[in-house]
Structures are given as C-alpha cells and as structure tokens.
Amino acid sequence: MLGLMQRQELSISSLIEFAERHHGEGQIVSRRVEGDIHRYTYKECAQRSRQLANVLDTFNVKQGERVASIAWNGYRHMEMYFGVSGSGRVLHTINPRMAPEQIAWVMSHAQDQMVCFDMTFLPIVKAIHSKCPSVKHWVALCEADKVPSDSGIPNLLSYEALLVAQPTTYTWPELDENTASSMCYTSGTTGNPKAALYSHRSTVLHAYAAALPDVMCLSSRDSILPVVPMFHVNAWGIPYSAALTGAKLVFPGPGMDGKSIYDLIELERVTYAAGVPTIWQMLLGHMEPNKLRFSTLKRTVIGGSACPPAMIAAFNDQYGVEVLHAWGMTEMSPLGTLCTLKNKHLTMSEADKMKVRLKQGRAIYGVDMKIVDSAGQELPWDGKTYGDLLVKGPWVVREYFQGVGDKEPVRPLIDGWFPTGDVATIDADGYMQITDRSKDVVKSGGEWISSIDIENIAVAHPAVAMAACIGMAHPKWDERPIIAVVKKPGQEVTREELLAFYQDKAAKWQVPDDVVFLDAIPMGATGKMQKSKLREVLKDYKLPDLR
Ligand code: AMP
C-alpha cells in the first residue's frame, strides 16, 4: 500500500523560491573582483536567477546541457547555482587552480556549452578557449563596460548586459528529482579527473542534512562565510543550505588572505565560517601578531584535510571559537561526518574533549559507513582497528560522469559501497578518525604509521608553519617516515630539536627518521598537500642510515 501524501519532486529551484518568499530581505554580501563590497537580498538573487534562466532559454541551451563557471565565491556565482540548475541545465563548477590543459580537458569532457567566468580568470580563458570546441558562448561575469574589446575571445559577452535584457519572471520547470543538477571533477592526482554528477534530489537532501543542529546548525540568525570555494564541491553545499534556512551569506570573492577574511568577518558580523585548514592558518597568522579578536564569530567548520590540534586549540582557547571538524569528499556532495560532541563528552576534561574533536566526527543521517580489511571483512568499531573506509547514501556517487568519447563506464562501487580511499578507525560512539589516504600511509615493519599523526605533532611546534610526512623506501622496514617542514617566517628550529619534540608524543618507531626543511610544500588545486609532487621534489633524497 502506498502512502497518501503529496508527491512533490525535490528541486533546487524550490530552495531559492523559499528563500525569496520567507527570507526575501535576507542579505547576500559579496566582496567583488571589481574591488568593492556588493550587497543585495535573497529576493534580488531569486529575480536575477530567473533572468539567467531566461538567458539560457534565449541561447537555446538544452535541458541537461552543461553550463560552466570559473568564478570566486560571489553573488553572480550564487545566481548560477540556482538559474542554471533550477532551469534544468547542469552547472559545471570548474576549479581555476587546475592547470590550463586540465581545465580545457574537463570542459571538453563535460561538453560545456557556455562558460561564465570572473575577469580574474581571463588569462586562463584566453589560453584555452581555442581548445574547447563544445563551448558556444563565453560570458564575462561583469558589466558590459568592463569587457575588454581586445580580449581575443570571439564574441565575448557581458553577464550583466545579458541579464538586464531579460524579464525577472520565469516558470521553473517541474523536473524529476533525479535530474542532474551540477557536476564537479575530482582533483585527479592520478590519471584524468573524474566527475561526480549531482542530482536535485541528492543536493536538496544534502542541504537539509547539512543544516541540522548536530551538523552545521544553520539558522536565519546566522551570518555565514563560506571561504571554501564554490568551485570545489559546491562550497560544501552551503549556498543551498543557506537558502533553505535564510541565513545571511557573506562571500569573500578573491580576498582569501588573512587580513581580507578577518576584515570581512568583523564588518559583516559573521557568526559562522567554513574552510580548509590552510585558509585558517593564514587568518590566525594575521590575527596573532596584530593582537586581533573576533567580536561575533562563534563556530567554524574545518575540513578538506585533517585539522591540526594546534589549530583547534588556538580557535577554542585563544579566540573562543568552536571548531567543528568535518570530513567528506567530492564524491559525497561532500559531507560525510561532522564532529559535534555528545552529552557524555561535555563533562570530560579539556584534554579528553580535544581527543574527540580531533576525530573527523560521526556520520550524518543519510551516510552509512564501515571499515573493512583487505579481504573486505567488516572491522570492529573500537577506535583502534583501522581499515578502508566505505560509504553509501543518497548523496554518494554511484558512477562517474562519462562525458563523450569514453567507452567504459567507471563504476567504483563494491557491493553497493563507495570506497573512499581513506583509512580510518571508528570508535564505539561512531566517531570516525581518518588515519590517512590509503596511498599515504607509511608502512614500517608491518605496522602502519599515520602520516596525519606525524604531521599534527610537527605543526604543534611553534616554529613550524606546515609539515608533510611521507614514507621512504627502506630495505629492512619497507618504509620509514620522514617529515618535510616549512618554518614560520622569522622562526628557527633545528632537525634535532624537532625530532626531540616527538619524544612522549609518538611511539619511538613512529618518530620520523629525518627532517627536511623546504621553502614550500607542493599544494594541489583544492588546497591539499600534494604528496606525489613532494615525492618528486625529494626523488634524490636518501634516508640517513642508507647514505
Ligand atoms: P576532495 O574530493 O578533493 O574534497 O578530497 C576528499 C579527500 O580529502 C578525502 O577522501 C580525504 O582524504 C580528505 N579529507 C577531507 N576532509 C578531511 C579531514 N577532515 N581530515 C582528513 N582528510 C580529509
């Protein structure tokens, strides 16, 4: 027997319609590429999203065809989130930090029909536009008078000129909720990037779940700053969850340095911010020497890579900001777990609370997870046994997007579970902790050493800005860990001092065999350390006992 409730397809357009009707005066503030601060409301955002949908109709972009963005976090990008997907097209957010050839490759693979880009990225577009035959329209996200006549891009259009010519009315199509809505390519450290293709259903369910009290706990009373880019996994779904709750949105645009972020937090009375550890490192690096305080910031979600304990402690103890450690991936829309404390933790000592906060957290309703051994056998949730982390749920990929030309579908699932490539433990309370990417684990004498643990200890040293642990081949032990370190400007630490710092913090056999000081650690397009590149940098390196 079927239930007798109304059947209504979940749709991205309903999110912005809801925000317009119930939070029409809610603010969206953006630092613009133009250099100023732009302010408008959800009502105006909804109107302009409809104007954009009309533009796409005028250009005859068909349902399901891809419209790409190369843009910072800002109100025009937000309009694309709703105007493109809401009208049945697929928004392809492109990470501008990828190499130009890779950008051209993903555009061709996705068969993008139209590309809208911030003027900052004009040099990228100039470099690749002739290599992207599928693209019929190049649109600059600016006023007509800011579009250079000598751009070299044939028929370069102005987004604002296109919008102003359109009515603000539009009837959103009624789409099957499984219709594709947006796509994001993984950074692809090996081989070509692969795309997760999200649907209206997966996006709306994820937006609901992300807003829950034990997840991001978003409310119309919040002022939210997503520093995590809209070009990487939909800014962790925050634009959708913000529309669902009516929260004020504050977009940092191209201003990602510590000072710009701090100023925006204070100016816009931000209560809640989200980003990767490297961004917060820059923010804290600006605040510490200038003796600055937050007047409104209460909580920050930190994820994308492991949040070092020193950062959790700095936010919590020095600035009174609660850190919510989160884990997810492009293939998971992206949220999988978030570390909010349970009642039983509240009476614990600060040191014990920190042990919990360091974990990547517990599963969000909608995400099922398990750890397995190399034979696929499920492992216990005892907080000690580690294994390959598998997930499933309505916002986890089933298959990668094929695009045109590829013959074999890429179906990653194992018995319905998605292998994340992460190695983790899960404790009896369901708190998951990533020990490593499976390819980054250091395997020494049959035991595994978590490179994240070794890095966390190094960055707790006051002179260390950044640290990356990698395994080096060893004839007796298989691999031994070394730690590559970037010092903070003006700070000193020697190899011996840093190795001594590991005493009492790690078992003897886990202490790195050596320290290598570098000017920089190679970073990938999504702000994560690129250990494959680091291995190339250190290809002639020899462990001390093998020299
Ligand atoms: P991406 O798809 O680019 O977002 O990368 C996803 C990967 O980033 C995950 O599979 C993890 O390896 C890593 N990651 C994300 N969040 C965390 C976290 N909080 N701690 C450790 N690793 C993380």
* pLDDT, tens digit (0-9, with 9 covering 90-100), for 149-165: 899 999 999 999 999 99
Mean pLDDT of 324-339: 97
- pLDDT for 411: 80
Cα 44 to averaged position of ligand 1 atoms, centre (Å): 35
- pLDDT for 202: 98
Cα 139 to averaged position of ligand 1 atoms, centre (Å): 32
Q: Give 504: exposed, middle or buried? Use CB within 10 Å, 0-12, 13-18, 19+.
A: exposed
For the question of residue 174 being annotated catalytic, the response is no
User: What gap in Å lies between CA 11 and CA 483, rounded to an integer?
Assistant: 47
- Which sequence spans correspond to the domains of the chain? 8-202, 440-537
Mutate to test the pocket of ligand 1, among 434, 435, 455 (most ligand atoms within 8 A of CB): 434
Mean pLDDT of 45-54: 98
Atom 4 of ligand 1, residue of closest alpha carbon:
329
Residue 495 has pLDDT above 90, yes or no: yes
Atom 22 of ligand 1, residue of closest alpha carbon:
305
Give the chain's mean pLDDT.
94
Q: CB count, 10 Å around CB of 508?
A: 7
The CATH architecture of the domain made up of 8-202 is 3-Layer(aba) Sandwich (3.40)
**Confidence bin at 190 (pLDDT 50/70/90):** low
- Find the helix or strand (DSSP H, E) in which 536 lies: helix 531-537
**Confidence bin at 446 (pLDDT 50/70/90):** confident
pLDDT by residue (tens digit) across 210-267? 999 999 999 999 999 999 999 999 999 999 999 999 999 999 999 999 999 999 999 9
For the question of residue 536 being annotated catalytic, the response is no
pTM, to two decimals? 0.91
Distances (CA, A) of 395 to 23, 83, 168: 27, 21, 32
Report, in angstroms and rounded to the nearest whole number, the Rg of the chain calculated over CA atoms: 24
- pLDDT for 187: 66
Distances (CA, A) of 166 to 58, 158, 261, 350: 9, 13, 35, 57
Mean pLDDT of 14-33: 98
Mean pLDDT of 491-497: 95
- pLDDT for 186: 87
- pLDDT for 193: 85
The domain 440-537 belongs to what CATH superfamily? ANL, C-terminal domain (3.30.300.30)
Q: Which of the residues 44, 146, 448, 528 is marked catalytic?
A: 448
Residue 116 · residue 71 · CB < 8 Å: yes
User: What gap in Å lies between CA 148 and CA 476, rounded to an integer?
Assistant: 62
Cα 214 to averaged position of ligand 1 atoms, centre (Å): 20
> In 212-364, which residue ranges form alpha helices assigned H by DSSP?
233-236, 238-245, 258-267, 277-290, 309-313, 319, 343-346, 350-357
DSSP string, 407-436: -S-----BTTBEEEEEEEEE-TT-EEEEEE
Residue 298 has pLDDT above 60, yes or no: yes
For the question of residue 395 being annotated catalytic, the response is no
Mean pLDDT of 389-416: 86
For the question of residue 288 being annotated catalytic, the response is no
Q: What phi and psi, each to the nearest 5 degrees, are found at residue 122?
A: -55, -45
Residue 464 has pLDDT above 90, yes or no: yes
User: What gap in Å lies between CA 269 and CA 40, rounded to an integer?
Assistant: 16
Cα 400 to averaged position of ligand 1 atoms, centre (Å): 18
Residue 288 · residue 317 · CB < 8 Å: no
